[in-house]
């Protein structure tokens, strides 16, 4: 009777031969093309030869993803999925995914086996996150879990993706706050006074918020993008003065603050025409610039978006502004002004959005205009 074939990615008994300090270990291994091969490794002792063979076979299995199975812990699956994204996603996106795994996926589901992560289990987890933390976090958890279990399905660790059968989390956009023209004028004046004044201990402030605010309100770019602008990205010599967005400032885990050589999205690569007030500000800064960065830190290095936001909060609290007044509010203000002055397509292009629906839902809001039915309704007044 023929010997039954080995399961894909497994090996049979290990045999050893040799003497002294020359040993060889061999085993039959059924490779992922279905062919069973004799695999051999050597070592200076019987045990070292066996260890070398086992390590090689495990690496061979791991290379094909077959180390994922129904018995794999969800925490291990999360790590494997995250590793597949390295180099394929923006650094900021990877940081968000990593925090979601660390704070919400691993603590609740990490010790479960893949086979135990059923639809009811995952659904209950998402409901709990939504109730205790919020819809936005629950929606992000669902995205992460969807990717994780898609990987499990591709590697044969799960027959189906249980996340697909869970109830979708609809994260409703919050209220869209913008700044009026009068408020912008007041803010610019207050920021200039704030930067020129002295802080604690009688030392001159080094916040440099007024010029950053001018650039944000003149372009609608993201905070990380404006801080990553270099003088080589600014054209002040052409008839139409422009800035080209080619990167963003991000904090990379284990490496610190870096300039990511691409914006948040592919559509983020864009050249924007600058209004005269921003041109005047940039000409003034260029005349005294000593750094490659247009808006450097106080020591001339790449400026941290986190530090800038902290400085903004101190200013905001000092003048008793509402919590929703953040640098990102400038982006929504610019989008709304362009939509009202031109159209939604122009607003989306300025912000670097591919889809105008995202601009409408999260930056400008809906404009509900009814049909022109005056003649019909006039009958009611006759």
234: domain CATH number is 1.10.443.10
Q: What pLDDT is stored for residue 241 in this prediction?
A: 92
List beta partners, residue 43: 23
122: domain CATH number is 1.10.150.130
Q: What are phi and psi of 2, to 5 degrees?
A: -65, 145
Least confident residue range of 52-66, 201-215, 289-303: 52-66
Classify residue 88: in a domain, yes or no: yes
Q: What pLDDT is stored for residue 67 in this prediction?
A: 67
Q: What pLDDT is stored for residue 279 in this prediction?
A: 94
Q: Are residues 49 and 197 in the same domain?
A: no
Q: If you average pLDDT over residues 305-315, what whole number do you get? A: 93
- Contact between 110 and 145 under an 8 Å Cβ cutoff? The reply is no
> What is the average pLDDT value for the chain, to the nearest integer?
86
Q: DSSP readout, 258-313?
A: EEESS-SSGGG-EEEEPPHHHHHHHHHHHTT--SSBSS--TTSSPPPHHHHHHHHH
Taking only the tens place, the pLDDT of each residue in 365-380 is: 655 555 665 675 666 6
Q: How confident is the model at residue 6 (pLDDT cuts 50, 70, 90)?
A: confident
Q: Are residues 188 and 143 in the same domain?
A: no
Q: How confident is the model at residue 60 (pLDDT cuts 50, 70, 90)?
A: confident
Least confident residue range of 7-16, 120-129, 181-190: 7-16
The number of residues making up the chain comes to: 382
Residue 208 falls in which region: left (phi positive, over 0), alpha (psi -120 to 50) or beta: left
285 vs 341, more confident: 285
**How many C-beta atoms lie closer than 10 Å to residue 74's C-beta?**
25
Classify residue 382: in a domain, yes or no: no
Q: What pLDDT is stored for residue 32 in this prediction?
A: 73
- Contact between 275 and 218 under an 8 Å Cβ cutoff? The reply is yes
Q: Are residues 208 and 304 in the same domain?
A: yes
Q: What pLDDT is stored for residue 266 in this prediction?
A: 67
Classify residue 303: in a domain, yes or no: yes
Q: Are residues 351 and 225 in the same domain?
A: yes
Q: Are residues 210 and 317 in the same domain?
A: yes
Classify residue 265: in a domain, yes or no: yes
Q: If you average pLDDT over residues 173-200, what whole number do you get? A: 87
- Is residue 1 predicted with pLDDT exceeding 60? no
Q: What range defines the domain where residue 49 resides? A: 15-63
Q: Are residues 194 and 154 in the same domain?
A: no
Cα end-to-end span (Å), the chain: 99
Classify residue 212: in a domain, yes or no: yes
Q: How confident is the model at residue 89 (pLDDT cuts 50, 70, 90)?
A: confident
- Is residue 91 predicted with pLDDT exceeding 80? no
Q: Are residues 144 and 189 in the same domain?
A: no
Measure the CA dihedral 126/131/132/138, to 10°. Answer: 40
Classify residue 1: in a domain, yes or no: no
Q: What pLDDT is stored for residue 102 in this prediction?
A: 93
Classify residue 379: in a domain, yes or no: no
Looking at the structure of the chain, the number of domains it has is 3
Look at residue 34 and give its three-state secondary structure: coil
Q: Are residues 136 and 235 in the same domain?
A: no
Q: How confident is the model at residue 59 (pLDDT cuts 50, 70, 90)?
A: confident
Classify residue 6: in a domain, yes or no: no
Dist. CA 291–CA 300, nearest whole Å: 6
- Is residue 72 predicted with pLDDT exceeding 80? yes
Least confident residue range of 76-90, 111-125, 171-185, 266-280: 171-185
Q: Are residues 57 and 81 in the same domain?
A: no
Residue 1: its H or E element: none
HEC sequence for 187-249: HHHHHHHHHHCECHHHCECCCCHHHHHHHHHHHCCCHHHHHCCEHHHEECCCCCCEEEECCEE
- Is residue 331 predicted with pLDDT exceeding 80? yes
Q: Are residues 155 and 235 in the same domain?
A: no
Q: Are residues 154 and 238 in the same domain?
A: no
Q: Are residues 132 and 230 in the same domain?
A: no
Q: How confident is the model at residue 19 (pLDDT cuts 50, 70, 90)?
A: confident
- Is residue 296 predicted with pLDDT exceeding 90? yes
């Amino acid at each position: 009777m023929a010997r039954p074939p080995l399961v894909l990615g497994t090996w049979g008994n290990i045999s050893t031969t040799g003497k002294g300090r020359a040993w060889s270990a061999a085993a039959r291994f059924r490779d992922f093309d279905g062919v069973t091969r004799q695999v051999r490794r050597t070592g200076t002792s019987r045990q070292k030869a066996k260890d070398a063979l086992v390590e090689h076979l495990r690496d061979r299995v791991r290379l094909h993803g077959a180390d994922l199975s129904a018995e794999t812990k969800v925490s291990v699956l999360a790590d494997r999925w995250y590793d597949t994204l390295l180099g394929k996603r923006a650094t900021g996106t990877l940081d968000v995914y990593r925090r979601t795994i660390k704070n919400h996926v691993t603590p609740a589901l990490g010790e479960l086996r893949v086979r135990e992560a059923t639809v009811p289990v995952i659904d209950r987890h998402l409901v709990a996150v939504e109730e205790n933390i919020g819809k936005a976090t629950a929606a992000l958890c669902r995205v992460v879990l969807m990717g994780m279990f898609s990987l499990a399905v591709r590697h044969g660790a799960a027959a189906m993706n249980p996340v697909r059968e869970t109830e979708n989390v609809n994260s409703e956009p919050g209220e869209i706050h913008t700044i009026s023209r009068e408020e912008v004028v007041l803010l610019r004046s207050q920021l200039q006074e704030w930067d020129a004044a002295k802080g604690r201990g009688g030392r001159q402030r080094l916040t440099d918020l007024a010029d950053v605010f001018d650039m944000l309100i003149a372009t609608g770019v993201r905070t990380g993008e404006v801080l990553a602008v270099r003088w080589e990205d600014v054209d002040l010599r052409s008839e139409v003065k422009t800035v080209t967005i080619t990167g963003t400032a991000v904090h990379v885990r284990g490496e610190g603050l870096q300039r990511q050589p691409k914006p948040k999205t592919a559509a983020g690569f864009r050249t924007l025409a600058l209004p005269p007030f921003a041109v005047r500000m940039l000409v003034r800064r260029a005349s005294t610039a000593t750094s490659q960065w247009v808006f450097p830190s106080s020591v001339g290095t790449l400026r941290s978006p986190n530090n800038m936001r902290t400085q903004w909060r101190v200013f905001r609290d000092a003048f008793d502004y509402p919590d929703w007044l953040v640098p990102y509010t400038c982006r929504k203000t610019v989008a709304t002004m362009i939509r009202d002055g031109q159209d939604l397509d122009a607003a989306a292009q300025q912000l670097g959005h591919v889809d105008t629906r995202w601009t409408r839902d999260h930056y400008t809001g809906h404009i509900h205009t009814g049909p022109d039915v005056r003649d019909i309704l006039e009958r009611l007044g006759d």
